[in-house]
Every structure is written in C-alpha cells, then in structure tokens.
Amino acid sequence: MSSSLPLRYGANPQQAPARVYMESGVTLPITVLNGSPGYINLLDALNSWQLVRELKSAINLPAAASFKHVSPAGVAVANPLSDVLKKAYFTDDLELSPLATAYARARGADRLCSFGDFIALSDTVDVSTAKLIAKEVSDGVIAPGYEPAALEILKAKKAGKYAVVQIDPSYDPSSMQEIREVFGIRFEQHRHDRLVTTADFTNIVTAKKELPASAIRDLIIAWITLKYTQSNSVCFVADGQAIGVGAGQQSRIHCVRLAGQKADLWWLRQHPDILNLPFKPGIKRPDRDNAIDQFLRDDVTPNEKADWGNVFAQPPRQLTPSEKQEWLSKLDSVTLGSDAFFPFRDSIDRAAASGVSYVLEPGGSTRDDVVIQAANEYGMTMIFSGVRLFHH
C-alpha cells in the first residue's frame, strides 16, 4: 500500500497524467490485487463501496451493487431467489452463496445498464460469487477481502486484466470536510455522514399507515441507494433489491418514467414466455440480454427482428400490448424512493402503473397536499423523511 496510485489517464484518454493519492503521505486504503483500474473505475469503486458498507450495516445482510458511471444500475441484499428469478438472472445452473445471491440480484435488475459494471461487495468474496462474476461482462470489483481460490478465479478474467481492488473495511476519512476543485475553484462541505434511521420512516402522511417489515427493508435500500446516486434520482425497490433506478435527470417525472420503465422490464423478464424464449445453444449472456430487450419493445425495427435469426432457434411470438399490461398489473408491493420532494402528482400517477404501494420522499413542496391526495387515491403509504439526498 502507498499514498499514491498512478493511472493511465483520467476520465478520457486526453486527460493525462492522472492519479489518486492521499494528502500528507497518508497510506491509501485500497490495494490493487490485479489489473489496472482507471479513473472512472475508482470513482465507481469508492462510491459503491460506501453504499454496500452502509447497507450491510443497516440491514445486517450481505450487500452488492452494480455501478456504471458513478450511479448504481442495481443494488441488493442477500435475499433467497425464487426459481423464476434464478432463471431470469441466468443463475439456475449455479449454487449461490448469500453474497453471490446479492450480486445476482444487483446484476439482474437492469442487465443492459450493468454491462461492463464495477462491482462492490460488502463481504469477503467467496468462490460462489467469483464464479458468478466470471460469467458476466464486468470491469472490476471492490471488496474488503477475497478467499484465495476466489481471487485466482477473478485474476483469470479478461485475460488476466480484470481489476480487483481490496479496501480496508476499517477505513474512514480522517476529516469530516470534503473538498473538490472545479475550474480552479475549490468547493468544501461537510461529508455526507448522515445515516438512515428508523425514525426516517415514522412520519406517514397518508390515510393508509401499514408498513410491514419487508417494506421497511425496501425503504432502507431505497434511502441508501439514493444517497449514492447522481441527482435528480428515484429508485424503485422490491423483494430486497432495486428494480429500477432513474439517475441524473433534470426533471423528477423523467426520473420516475425512466426508473418505472426499468422496473416494468424487470417484471416482464419474469413472464413465462420470456423465460422460455428459444435461444440457440451457446448464445452469450449480453446477446441474450439485447435480444430480450428488443423482444419486449413495441418499436423494434425490421433490422433488429432480422437479427433474431442469429439468436433464436425459431421465430418467437412477441407479447401483445394487452398481454404485457395484464402481466404488469400483477406487479405490486413496490417501494418508490425519491432524493427530493415530488413537486406534482404526475410522478405518483406514473408510480401507480408500476405497482408502487410505498413512497418515500423528503416532503417540503408547496404542493405536498396534492401529492398526498394522489397517494391516497391509489391506496399508497407515503412517508415524509425530511431528509434530502442529493448527490453530485
């Protein structure tokens, strides 16, 4: 371990030289065990590590995150997979440890966005998890430790170039202030060390007050996920995992539409017709993901359909809009978290279409009464946390 780590370049190849380092010669809390992680890799690694560490502490279950461009494509805790999800996540041929289950869920939430992800894992990586990672297209992983056999599996990935980073789990920044420089000007603020508490879920503002243990778990996942997602952001959560993240949009309704569309696709992937698509033997996971995404779109092009002959053993029948809607109507008990208040009821209307039963937001809009009324119309439980979770 050293106080400085040189990088090939920064965010782009023309941004060289680049490095990560600690002031005053303090030792870096990370050790590169294999490969050469890049600038963006390490931004993903350090943001995602904070997320899974905090999630593990809050829920006391192994946690995993699949990060792309400094926002999570998927986040999950270790919750046993149903046979349907095992098949949808391409893991029905694997024996999964709790940690591997958490990553299978994180990766399975939005497989297109997770392509080439950076993985964060809260616990020591075991062989089961390493075998799953070996099957996916990924840039690297950060974790507090690695079993020797698991490390060897990961070292063999990407022809020996896979980035494996170990972080000291006891590390915390010595300063409570964080500083960044933009255009030669320094910004300084108190580090966002506010942790989720059960008190964040006590201010229920709707007529419906029910909040089962499973919903509280999902509220915690939404809260912590939003804390490390580029704003504006919303997060749909179900069954112990994020199922749709809308990040970095200027409009809140666009966040909800984006995340809701991802949640819908997550649910549609579990339709029996999708689970049993007639793929040709040997079709790789990314090609299956792309074909499923095209298959579920209503605007698929003739050229895309022509390519299906390369992946399907026989031409499959697409689901009709009414068949999709019938299946989507079965999605329920979903939690929606927002990093800031909803200014209009349109987000609630869109959330209802994706089975949302629980809503978490800070509150504080001049139209809170209109938003609460919309939640009441749909029979939702809405909580005002009073905590904004912007992240930039």
Query: If we measure between CA atoms, which residue out of 25, 9, 29, 19 comes closest to residue 165?
Result: 29
Query: Would you call 62 helix, strand, or coil by DSSP?
Result: coil
Active-site residue identified among 60, 209, 303, 392: 392
Question: Would you state the structure tokens that stand for residue 167, as one six-digit string?
Answer: 């972080």
269 vs 389: CA distance, rounded Å:
30
Residue 168: alpha-carbon gap to chain centroid: 23
For 56, phi then psi, to 5°, come to: -60, -40
Contact 188, 177 (CB under 8 A): yes
- Check 69, 135, 158, 208 and give the catalytic one: 69
Separation between Cα atoms, residue 253 and residue 219, nearest integer Å:
20
Neighbours of 1 (CB within 10 A): 11
The closest alpha carbon to 288, from 316, 249, 246, belongs to: 316
68 is catalytic: yes
Q: In this structure, what token pair is assigned to residue 390?
A: 């912007």
* Residue-level length of the chain: 392
Cβ neighbours, 10 Å, residue 382:
26
Cα–Cα distance for residue pair 221/75, rounded to 1 Å: 8
- The one catalytic residue in 131, 232, 262, 271 is 232
Q: Which residue, 101, 23, 110, is CA-closest to 68?
A: 110
Q: Which residues contact 388 (CB under 8 A, 6 or more apart)?
A: 339, 340, 362
Contacts of 334 (CB under 8 A, 6+ apart): 236, 237, 238, 243, 263, 351, 354, 355, 356, 357, 358
Alpha helices by DSSP H, the chain? 39-59, 83-88, 98-108, 127-135, 148-155, 213-227, 252-268, 272-275, 285-296, 302-307, 321-328, 346-352, 368-377
The catalytic position among 34, 41, 56, 68 is: 68
- What SS3 class is residue 139? strand
Positions annotated as catalytic residues are: 68-69, 232, 392
